[in-house]
Amino acid sequence: MRIEAYSQVQQIYTNNKVNKTQQLKKTNDVRDTVSFSSIGKDIQVAKQAVSEVPNIREDVVAPLKAAIKNGTYDVSGEAFADKLLAKFEGL
């Protein structure tokens, strides 16, 4: 699950809350209205997209599970060290 994406969306939502009070005119015909800002609509679309993403990428995990189960999964220590060093060189 991509938790960081949901956290970022939620953070935007909480930071952009607008608390405005409106002066109401006294009339005999009082009606309630609801309106959603474009930011609110965008956030709902983003939340929906995040909720539809699967937690586990089965297309990647299934072959690895099968290789481990069969005993054919082999990790080269040298290749692992190279990738680890490459990742930390960019920091």
Q: pLDDT for 36-79, tens place per residue?
A: 788 988 999 999 998 888 888 889 999 999 999 999 998 899 99
Q: At what angle do helices 38-52 and 3-15 cross, to 10 degrees?
A: 170
Token pair of 19 as six digits? 């608390």
Tell me the three-class secondary structure of 72-89, residue by residue: CCCCCHHHHHHHHHHHHH
Residue pair 6/50 in contact by the 8 Å Cβ criterion: yes
Predicted TM-score (pTM) of the model is 0.35
Distance CA 70, CA 64 (A): 10
pLDDT at 57: 86
Long-range CB pairs of 75-82 (<8 Å, 24+ gap) are none
